[in-house]
Structure 1
Amino acid sequence: AAVVAISEEYQWVLAGSGAVGICLRLIVASSSAFLAVCTVPIAAKWLLIGRWKSRQIRLWSLAYVRFWIVKTLVRSSPAARLFIGTPLYTLYLRALGAKIGPRVVMLSRNVPVCTDLLTIGAGTVIRKAAIFNGYRAQAGSIQIGPVALGCDVFVGERSVLDINTSMGDGAQLGHASALHSGQAVPAGERWHGCPAQPTDVNFVRVAPARCGTLRRAAYGVAALLVVLLFYLPLIEGTAGLAIDAASSVTQMLQPAAGISALGLFVEAAILSLVLFFGLALMGLLLAVAASRVLNLFLKPDTVYPLFGFHDAIHRAIARIGRIRFFVFLFGDSCYIVHYLQLLGYHLRPVEQTGSNFGSDVMHANPSLSAVGTGTMVADGLVLVNDEVSSSSFRVSRAAIGPRNFIGNDVMYPAGGRTGDNVLLGTKVMVPLDGKIRQGTGLLGAPCFEIPRTVERDTQFDHLRTGETLRRGLAAKTRYNLRTIGLFLFTRWVGVFLFVLFYLTGIELYDVLPHVVSAALFAVSIVITAVYFSVVYFCVEALRSFKPTICSIYHSDFWLAERLWKMHPIHYLHVFDGTPFKNVLWRLMGVRIGKRVFDDGAHISDPPLTAIGDESVLNYRSKVQCHSQEDGTFKCDRTTIGAGCTLGVGSFVLYGVTMGDGSSLATDSFLMKGEEVPAHARWGGNPAKEM
Structure 2
Amino acid sequence: MLLALTATAGVAEVAVAALLESRPALVHTVTGAGGPGSWTYYADGLEIAAATVFGLALRGAILVPALSRVLSRPLRPNAVYPLHGVRFTLQRAVARLTSTRFTIALFGDSSAIVHYLKALGYRLAPIDQTGSNFGTMLGQEVPTLSRVGTGTMVSDGLSMANAEYSSTSFRTAPAAIGSHNYLGNHIVYPAGGRTGDNFLLATKVMIPVSGPVRENTGLLGSPPIEIPRSVERDHRFDHLTTGSGLRRRLAAKNHHNAVTMALFLTVPCLYVYGLLLIAMFPLTGDGGLYWLETAGTALLELAFTVGFFVLAERAVLGFRTLRPRLCSIYEPAWKVPSILYLAVFNGTPFKPAIWRLLGVRMGHRVFDDGCRILERTLTQVGDGCALNAGSVLQAHSLEEGVFKSDRITIGNGCTIGTSAFVHYGVVIDDHARVDADSFLMKGEHVPAHAQWRGNPAAELTGDAACRGMP
Aligned counterparts, 1:307-386, within 5 A: 307-386=84-163
Residues 388 and 259 (structure 1 numbering): CA distance in 2 closer, same or farther, change over 3 Å?
Answer: same
| Alpha-carbon distance between aligned partners in 1 of 2:219 and 2:251, rounded to the nearest angstrom | 33
Residues 234 and 634 (structure 1 numbering): CA distance in 2 closer, same or farther, change over 3 Å?
Answer: closer
| Shift, 1:232, TM fit | 11
Residues 391 and 599 (structure 1 numbering): CA distance in 2 closer, same or farther, change over 3 Å?
Answer: same
2:234 paired residue among 436, 457, 472 = 457
Kept in 2, the 8 Å contact 1:250–1:266? The answer is no
Kept in 1, the 8 Å contact 2:98–2:120? The answer is no
| Alpha-carbon distance between aligned partners in 2 of 1:234 and 1:329, rounded to the nearest angstrom | 24
| Alpha-carbon distance between aligned partners in 2 of 1:684 and 1:238, rounded to the nearest angstrom | 48
| Shift, 1:513, TM fit | 4.5
Deviations 1:591-649 (A, max 9, x none): 11111111000001111100001111000000000111111111100101110000000
Deviates more, 1:609-618 or 1:583-592: 583-592
Match of 2:268 in 1: 491
| Alpha-carbon distance between aligned partners in 1 of 2:255 and 2:179, rounded to the nearest angstrom | 27
| Alpha-carbon distance between aligned partners in 2 of 1:543 and 1:554, rounded to the nearest angstrom | 18
AA at the equivalent of 1:552:
I
Kept in 2, the 8 Å contact 1:509–1:517? The answer is no
Aligned length: 454
- Structure (1 or 2) with the larger CA radius of gyration: 1
Aligned counterparts, 1:125-524, within 5 A: 247=28, 250-251=31-32, 257-258=34-35, 260=37, 262-504=39-281, 507-508=283-284, 510=286, 513-524=290-301
| Shift, 1:514, TM fit | 3.1
| Shift, 1:545, TM fit | 2.0
Classify the secondary structure of the residue corresponding to 2:127: coil
| Alpha-carbon distance between aligned partners in 2 of 1:349 and 1:480, rounded to the nearest angstrom | 23
Match of 2:439 in 1: 669
Kept in 1, the 8 Å contact 2:82–2:88? The answer is yes
Classify the secondary structure of the residue corresponding to 2:128: coil
2:403 paired residue among 630, 633, 638 = 633
| Alpha-carbon distance between aligned partners in 2 of 1:400 and 1:451, rounded to the nearest angstrom | 18
Match of 1:654 in 2: 424
Residues 244 and 302 (structure 1 numbering): CA distance in 2 closer, same or farther, change over 3 Å?
Answer: farther
1:602 paired residue among 349, 369, 372 = 372
Kept in 2, the 8 Å contact 1:659–1:676? The answer is yes
| Alpha-carbon distance between aligned partners in 2 of 1:509 and 1:259, rounded to the nearest angstrom | 17
Match of 2:353 in 1: 583
Residues 551 and 361 (structure 1 numbering): CA distance in 2 closer, same or farther, change over 3 Å?
Answer: same
Kept in 1, the 8 Å contact 2:432–2:451? The answer is yes
Kept in 1, the 8 Å contact 2:105–2:136? The answer is yes
Kept in 2, the 8 Å contact 1:345–1:368? The answer is yes
AA at the equivalent of 2:347:
G
Deviations 1:289-312 (A, max 9, x none): 110001111111100010111111
| Alpha-carbon distance between aligned partners in 2 of 1:407 and 1:537, rounded to the nearest angstrom | 28
Residues 551 and 279 (structure 1 numbering): CA distance in 2 closer, same or farther, change over 3 Å?
Answer: closer
| Alpha-carbon distance between aligned partners in 2 of 1:540 and 1:233, rounded to the nearest angstrom | 30
Classify the secondary structure of the residue corresponding to 1:438: coil
Classify the secondary structure of the residue corresponding to 2:299: helix
| Alpha-carbon distance between aligned partners in 2 of 1:280 and 1:352, rounded to the nearest angstrom | 23
| Shift, 1:586, TM fit | 1.1
Kept in 1, the 8 Å contact 2:420–2:438? The answer is yes
Classify the secondary structure of the residue corresponding to 2:226: strand
Deviations 1:477-523 (A, max 9, x none): 1111111111110111111112222222x644549653122111232
Match of 1:642 in 2: 412
TM-score when normalising by structure 2: 0.91
Classify the secondary structure of the residue corresponding to 2:218: strand
Residues 677 and 295 (structure 1 numbering): CA distance in 2 closer, same or farther, change over 3 Å?
Answer: same
Classify the secondary structure of the residue corresponding to 1:297: coil
| Alpha-carbon distance between aligned partners in 2 of 1:232 and 1:461, rounded to the nearest angstrom | 45
| Shift, 1:265, TM fit | 2.6
Does the alignment pair 1:616 with 2:393?
no
Does the alignment pair 1:573 with 2:350?
no
Aligned counterparts, 1:39-50, within 5 A: none
AA at the equivalent of 2:234:
D
Kept in 2, the 8 Å contact 1:654–1:673? The answer is yes
Kept in 2, the 8 Å contact 1:530–1:584? The answer is no
Deviations 1:406-442 (A, max 9, x none): 0011110001000000000001011111111100010
| Alpha-carbon distance between aligned partners in 2 of 1:473 and 1:579, rounded to the nearest angstrom | 44
Kept in 1, the 8 Å contact 2:386–2:414? The answer is yes
| Alpha-carbon distance between aligned partners in 1 of 2:152 and 2:42, rounded to the nearest angstrom | 47
Match of 1:105 in 2: none
TM-score when normalising by structure 1: 0.63
Residues 583 and 644 (structure 1 numbering): CA distance in 2 closer, same or farther, change over 3 Å?
Answer: same
Deviations 1:40-67 (A, max 9, x none): xxxxxxxxxxxxxxxxxxxxxxxxxxxx
Kept in 2, the 8 Å contact 1:498–1:525? The answer is no
| Alpha-carbon distance between aligned partners in 1 of 2:284 and 2:197, rounded to the nearest angstrom | 63
| Alpha-carbon distance between aligned partners in 2 of 1:276 and 1:521, rounded to the nearest angstrom | 21
| Shift, 1:462, TM fit | 0.5
1:592 paired residue among 353, 362, 365 = 362
Classify the secondary structure of the residue corresponding to 2:49: helix
| Alpha-carbon distance between aligned partners in 2 of 1:481 and 1:284, rounded to the nearest angstrom | 15
Residues 678 and 510 (structure 1 numbering): CA distance in 2 closer, same or farther, change over 3 Å?
Answer: same
| Alpha-carbon distance between aligned partners in 1 of 2:43 and 2:31, rounded to the nearest angstrom | 6
| Alpha-carbon distance between aligned partners in 1 of 2:17 and 2:293, rounded to the nearest angstrom | 23
Kept in 2, the 8 Å contact 1:536–1:568? The answer is no
| Shift, 1:587, TM fit | 1.4
| Alpha-carbon distance between aligned partners in 2 of 1:438 and 1:603, rounded to the nearest angstrom | 34
| Shift, 1:245, TM fit | 8.7
| Alpha-carbon distance between aligned partners in 2 of 1:582 and 1:541, rounded to the nearest angstrom | 22
1:531 paired residue among 308, 326, 329 = 308
Where structure 1 has 5 or more consecutive residues not aligned to the other structure, the ranges are 4-71, 83-230
Aligned counterparts, 1:60-139, within 5 A: none
AA at the equivalent of 2:52:
L
| Alpha-carbon distance between aligned partners in 2 of 1:625 and 1:282, rounded to the nearest angstrom | 33
Deviates more, 1:343-352 or 1:465-474: 465-474
| Alpha-carbon distance between aligned partners in 2 of 1:258 and 1:627, rounded to the nearest angstrom | 49
| Alpha-carbon distance between aligned partners in 2 of 1:267 and 1:601, rounded to the nearest angstrom | 38
Where structure 2 has 5 or more consecutive residues not aligned to the other structure, the ranges are 461-470
AA at the equivalent of 2:400:
D
AA at the equivalent of 2:354:
L
Aligned-residue sequence identity (percent) comes to 47
AA at the equivalent of 2:180:
R
| Alpha-carbon distance between aligned partners in 2 of 1:437 and 1:271, rounded to the nearest angstrom | 53
| Shift, 1:342, TM fit | 0.7
